[in-house]
Structure 1
Amino acid sequence: MSTDFLPGKTRTMADGATLICIFVAVLMLVPARAVFKGIPLSLTPGNVAALFAGICWVCAQLTLTLGMAKGRTPVRTGIFVYAIAVLFSYGYANYGPLPSDEVKLSDHAIVLVAGNCAVALMMNDGVRGLIRLDRVLKTAVVCGTGVALVGCCQFILKLDLTQYMVLPGLRFTSDDGFVETREALARVAGTTGHPIEFGVLCAMLLPLAAHFAFQAKGRGEPVLRWWICCAIIAAGLMFSISRSAVLGVAGAGLVLFIGWPAKRRWYTLLVGLVFLGVIKVTVPSLLGALYNLFANIGNDSSISHRTYASAVAAKQISLHPLFGHGPGTWYAGKHEVFDNQYILSTVETGFVGVAAFAGIFLCAFYSALRARYLSKDPGARDLALTICASLVAPLVGSATFDLTAFATVTGLTFVLVGASGSLLRTAKQLAPHEDQFGVLYWVRYRWAWLRDLVTRRRRRTVVAEPVG
């Protein structure tokens, strides 16, 4: 929707995309350890923005005049199933005896789940059209570039800008810095809570930045700005010195290389080799440190700890196999750290919860691929492939660290899940006749065609005989 603001110009009215842009900016640019003072649940500004978006989504669903999409979609169904599964686990855990500290953390976890689901639903239903969807994703790339720039300052200049980024009314939850060390090199976190989270966040944003860089020329937009974003985000990924980041960007790259044309593949390989050459010259020991993460994996203490923690998890899962110990009740300091979101979800929410968690990714992948199949616009088709690639990073990263324990990467994951649903809605509106009844229509049509082919049935024409 738009309204006249100045002669010859239009002003876009605030909508669901506006709320998500605000959420993304607050989520990424405010340090992850900064929470509101005086609130016992330790809510971040991003959490509050997500909950506000949820309230707006509920109110907009009650009207027909605010432009909110209605109706079932795969992403919407997946989000509701996930929310119900977590609620069942929450009720099951609180039905029995729980220590007071775990009750408090379980309440906190439910609030966070509600916020994340609200963001995905607002993206799915409130972001209408490719222009508004691009606006949200461009905001994510620009803000992510800011996060990566903070990380580059931490690594190169040894300057932690996060100490100057605490707004009035906020406080840090811990005194730990945003910089660690590995292989005698600084591991930086930008504004996120941990270097692993920072690396996976960059792995998720890099495909989006590359998408806008490749699409800019055809749209008549400046190209250089997006390539600068790509370079800064890629540098931040390297400076995180994270195994999860490398695996995430490798998985995302594999998806892109499958769907990209050959010319773009070779161009990307050339640019990647030049980038690695620059890193080798400027920081000679960085590539060696990243190589040692995989070469010495058998002697890595973190890997041996994961093996030990798996035995602890198996015992705990056997006690509560269906609904788990309770969302948010298994925390570091009191229990073993698994560094595996799938194991953690199984322990906390049982097999029902981890299946619902995995189902969110499946619904998002289906929606994006379905939108790619329906759309005739090359830009929309490339965006669908890019969203799939970006979601591969947290999907792979969930096997190497506790994804939902980190707010920034979790929030962006749910934004991208909702983006796939929004893209599918747009694709169906632009091609309504091709998806009249979805997959069920396609299966029925193909089955009837195959049946007629096998049986070789022919229509018979009945000719009436002349009378008298």
Structure 2
Amino acid sequence: MNTTVLPRRADGATLVCLFVLLLLILPARLAVAGLPLSLTPAEIMALTLGVVWVCAQMVSTTGVAKGGNPVRTSIFVYGMLLLAVYGYTTSLYLPSDELNLADHTLVLYLGYVSLMLVVCDGIGSRERLDFVLKAVVIGGTFAAIVALLQFRLDFDLTEYMKIPGLRHSSVEEVPTVISRSDLRRVAGTLGHPIEFGALSAMLLPLAAHLGFQARSRGQAATRWWICAVIIAAGLMFSVSRTAVLGLAGAGLILLLGWSNRRRIVTLGAFVVFLGFMKVLAPGLIGTFYNLFAGAGDDSSIMYRTHDYPFAMREFAKSPIFGRGPGTWYPFKHQVFDNQYLLSLVETGLLGVLSFVGVIVCGIVVALRVRRLSTDPNVRNLGLTVAACLVIPLLGAATFDLLSFPGITSVMFLLVGVAGALLRFERADQADKRLLSSFQEPADRSRSLIVLTGNGQGSARSGSS
């Protein structure tokens, strides 16, 4: 019998995957030429997602989710607060360069909000959500392969990735390869080694989840373990304290939630990986040890902490709304390698609380899904998403995280994943309640038939 396999229609997951590939495969410094704002193809795709979401909300035939969702509520509050900050600060005097940057920053945040909404509402099933997560891991693996070439061979593939219609943006002045302790710190396709390291720390648990899930389903899991090894190697090649601290925070969450067997296997794999890195990159393990052992005398840490009083003085000038999103920028103002300080100065208390609130909401929702679900793969994914979202909370204290679109986009994407998981779990529970409501009358009917002897027992009782 001939069976025809119909092609799958493009949906929200397809559009999100296209965004992910544009984000992680194209070099971060490539922007679209001919635009008044410096926007990358991924950022334009994110804005397109917002248009698609708005259009889908106007009709009821696209399958886009509607109704209450904590993640959607959190991003609505976040967006409204940012608009309030933007409106207040731009109503006052701002130099033309800072006003242009405020406009540009608002457009970028509109893209982040759009991305989160499409992931939360526009992905129709867990299978399609897995498809998106696979695209994220594959994109991160490609970035790590580029980093491997940069680290081991001093070959920067991004210099040859020149595409017609794209130009180098202003981040061209930031090198993708930086020296530290006679080693190369590499950024892969991302904008900076710190961003690449923190992003690799976020993607490593996702790659491990896909490996565990494939094995539990009897599918091929080797490809995902290879991706996990490559991403972990990329994390090491970033030579970043932020990446190690973030991975330690995520690892603690995972170890607390995993079974004893998985903990032992993971710790054993970690020891083997360190031995592999010792052979692949001699001196790298020692460099990481010195980064933490000599942290008290490290010039980069001293630079990060000496500007706290100055930041507090700037914050005191406008503690509620700040001076304007994106208006505190390098080459004109002192650099704060701390997103919390930078947000306090730029967006005030409203901006910091809304930023932290969105991430915390994602963590809480993901852990709630883990508590509600009985599917071990869904429970593990909820735990994994919560662990991944701990990394930007920690990383925001060590670098200006929101200044880097790559890790910021993935952070908002994962918050959207938490919302989508909660939606799927609620739908499953509603289906179970509906099924049980149909089964209960049938159970009562069967009980009545048994008690009455198929309708004859009561008649015999009456005649006697």
What TM-score comes out, normalization by structure 2 length? Answer: 0.91
1:234 maps to a residue whose letter is A
Using the alignment, how far apart are the partners of 1:300 and 1:435 within structure 2?
59
Q: Match of 2:222?
A: 224
Could you tell me how far apart the structure 2 residues matched to 1:434 and 1:316 are? Answer: 55
Per the alignment, do residues 433 and 219 of structure 1 end up closer, same or farther by CA in structure 2, a change over 3 Å counting?
Answer: closer
C-alpha displacement of 1:317: 0.7
Partner of residue 19 from structure 1, selected from 15, 22, 36: 15
* Counterpart residue identity of residue 427, structure 2: Q
Percent of aligned positions that are identical: 53
From 140, 147, 152, the equivalent of 1:156 is 152
For 1:23 and 1:87, the matched residues in 2 are separated by 25
Residue 79 of structure 1 is aligned with which of 44, 66, 75? 75
Pair 318,176 (structure 1): closer, same or farther in 2 beyond 3 Å? closer
Q: Report the counterpart of residue 123 of structure 2 in structure 1.
A: 127
| Cα contact 1:374–1:435 (8 A) shared by 2 | no
Counterpart mapping for 1:329-340 below 5 A: 329-340=327-338
Match of 1:316 in 2: 314
Q: For the Cα contact (< 8 Å) 2:174–2:191, is it kept in 1?
A: no
Displacement of 1:128 in angstroms is 2.1
Aligned-pair CA distance for 1:433: 8.0
Task: Give per-residue Cα distances to partners, 1:178-197, cap 9 Å, x unaligned.
Answer: 11110010000000000000
Does the CA-based 8 Å contact 2:32-2:167 persist in structure 1?
yes
Distance 1:175 1:401, change over 3 A: closer
Contact 1:67 1:126 in 2 (8 A): yes
The one-letter amino acid paired with 1:21 is: C
Q: Secondary structure at the residue paired with 1:40? A: coil
| 1:277 pairs with 2:249 | no
Provide the residue aligned with 2:451 in structure 1.
none
| Deviation (angstroms), 1:362 | 1.4
One-letter code aligned to 1:302: S
What amino acid is aligned across from residue 108 of structure 2 in structure 1? Answer: L
Aligned to 1:94: 90
Q: What is the SS of the residue equivalent to 2:178?
A: strand
Among 141, 149, 172, the residue aligned to 1:145: 141
Query: Distance between the aligned counterparts of 1:435 and 1:122, measured in 2?
Result: 28
- Supply the distance in 2 between the matched residues of 1:373 and 1:282 (Cα, whole angstroms): 41
Counterparts of 1:56-455 in structure 2, within 5 Å, are 56-173=52-169, 174-432=172-430
* Separation in structure 2 between the aligned mates of residue 61 and residue 435 of structure 1, nearest angstrom: 27
Deviation per CA, 1:173-218, whole angstroms, max 9, x where unpaired? Answer: 2254311110010000000000000000100000000001111122
Task: Measure, in 1, the Cα distance between the counterparts of 2:410 and 2:127.
Answer: 19
Q: CA 1:280–1:257 in structure 2 vs 1: closer, same or farther (change >3 Å)?
A: same
Q: Distance in 2 between matches of 1:261 and 1:11?
A: 40
Whether the 8 Å CA contact 1:428–1:435 is kept in 2: the answer is: no
Structure 1 residue identity aligned to 2:111:
G
User: How far off its partner does 1:434 sit?
Assistant: 8.8
Larger Rg: 2
Structure 1 residues 141 and 435: CA distance shift in structure 2, 3 A: farther
CA offset digits 1:255-313 (Å, max 9, x no partner): 11011100000000111100101111222210111111111111111222222211111
Aligned to 2:34: 38
Cα deviation digits, residues 22-49 of structure 1 (max 9, x gap)? 0000011110011111212100011000
- Measure, in 2, the Cα distance between the counterparts of 1:184 and 1:236: 17
Q: CA deviation at 1:61?
A: 0.4
Partner SS state of residue 231, structure 2: helix
What is the match of residue 50 of structure 2?
54
Taking a change above 3 Å as real, the CA distance of residues 176 and 330 of structure 1, as seen in their structure-2 partners, is closer
Q: Are the aligned partners of 1:75 and 1:364 in contact in 2 as well (CA < 8 Å)?
A: yes
Q: Which residue of 2 aligns with 1:452?
A: none
- Residue identity in the other structure for 1:312: F
The superposition leaves residues 405-435 of structure 1 with CA deviations (integer Å, 9 ceiling, x where unpaired) of 0011111111101000000000111113899
Partners of 1:84 and 1:292 lie apart in 2 by: 44
Alignment gaps of 5+ in structure 2 = 435-464
TM-score (ref. length: structure 1): 0.90
Distance in 2 between residues matched to 1:335 and 1:250, nearest whole Å: 32
